Structure 1
Amino acid sequence: MPPVRSEATTVRWSPPSENQVKINFDGALFGESDSAGIGVVIRNSERVVMAVLSEKIVKPQAAEMVEILAARRVVLFSRESGFYDPVFEGDSSTVIKSLQDRIVSHAQGGHILKDILSHLNSFQSCSFSHIGRQGNAVAHALTQRARLSFPLEVWMESVPPDISSFVRFDLRV
């Protein structure tokens, strides 16, 4: 299994090293419906957007479960997109800590965490870091976009117009 580097501190978005991509992800429950959303943004070391994903899913019973499902989706999307040296960043400290420590004992989501860990074998290396909400704004905006969109939308080397302002703001941080 590839090494999973552990970073216990909360960080703001910073670019990955030259040969890596940074992949931010988020999940959110939509209170007004039976759905939830997942948002993912993949950027290179120059902060150029390589791919984004916005997905509407069936609402799980707990907020932590949607974050676990978002973590699985980001790992699968990275593989599907051909990025094998990712730095994954999410704003759920509990989920990130579980992935850093390889803990799969969650009563509700342990089986999904185990599935995520099994997929890490296909990466050259990867790491998981907790990032504050402000540093995860693009992924969060993509999550919210899922509320009113098709079940799955993916853009390669571009972003939807309504998300571009979040990307521009992120460049200034």
Structure 2
Amino acid sequence: MRCNEPCLPLGKIMDSTASLPTEFQKHYSQAVCAPRPRDVKWKPPTEAMIWKTNFDRAMFLESDQAEIGVVVRNQASQVMAALSERIQKPNSAEILEALATRRAIQFSLELGFKQSVFEGDLEFIIKALDNEVFPSPSVGHIVKDIWSMSGLLQTKSFSYVRRQDNSVAHALAQRARFSFPVLVWMEDVPPDILRFVSTDFPSF
């Protein structure tokens, strides 16, 4: 019901509704996925590390699923691989952080990237791994898996960054909400993620 508002003629209602999906996609893309300008940029791995693996997670209250995003880049700042994955939502954000970290290490091992710095904005789990501190019991078994899998890497380190400096992995995680359960790209990213890579590197 409309009160004191203009109404469309009946003949134009179908034309108006046909444009709604396009408008939704346009506004969703701008509101959720638009990269923000920032001073701090993603930095390539040092000479001691061949690759840098960034990862993140996303979780929405209205959904029973959670999302994980991972991107691997080399010393030349080139994307070597990217992953966007949807999983069953765990019981807590802490568990999801641990699962995202474990998936990043697993992804690197699957591709043979065994000399990597793992970088994410999941402060709770990053600090626990970096300081070799056993975190809360709810994620203890997952952390044991992470430590065990980390032993298969030749060289590794864990680094915490702010969310705005982890935009590619975060965008990949958000993307999983509306795509197939698991998507992997080799030496490439999907077009809607490319602009986040470009934000990290203006000369890209």
Partner of 2:13: none
Partner of 1:140: 170
Given residue 14 of structure 1, which amino acid in structure 2 is its aligned partner?
A: K
Partner of 1:54: 84
Would the aligned equivalents of 1:20 and 1:85 in 2 still touch at CA under 8 Å? yes
Partner of 1:13: 42
Structure 2 gap ranges (5+) = 1-39
Q: Report the secondary structure of 2:201's partner residue.
A: helix
The structure that has the greater radius of gyration is 2
Given residue 58 of structure 1, which amino acid in structure 2 is its aligned partner?
A: Q
Report how many aligned residue pairs link the two structures: 163
Percentage of identical aligned residues = 54
Structure 1 gap ranges (5+) = 1-10
Partner of 1:8: none
Backbone CA RMSD of aligned residues: 1.5
Q: Report the secondary structure of 1:22's partner residue.
A: strand
If the length of structure 2 is used for normalisation, what is the TM-score? 0.76
If the length of structure 1 is used for normalisation, what is the TM-score? 0.90
| Cα distance in 2 for residues equivalent to 1:112 and 1:101 | 16
Given residue 26 of structure 1, which amino acid in structure 2 is its aligned partner?
A: D
Report the Cα offset of residue 28 of structure 1: 1.4
Partner of 2:156: 126
Would the aligned equivalents of 1:104 and 1:111 in 2 still touch at CA under 8 Å? no
Q: Which has the higher strand share?
A: 1
Given residue 187 of structure 2, which amino acid in structure 1 is its aligned partner?
A: E
Would the aligned equivalents of 2:68 and 2:173 in 1 still touch at CA under 8 Å? yes
Correspondences of 1:30-49 after superposition (within 5 Å): 30-49=60-79
| Cα distance in 2 for residues equivalent to 1:111 and 1:33 | 25
Q: Report the secondary structure of 2:166's partner residue.
A: helix
Greater relative contact order (CA < 8 Å, ≥ 6 in sequence): 1
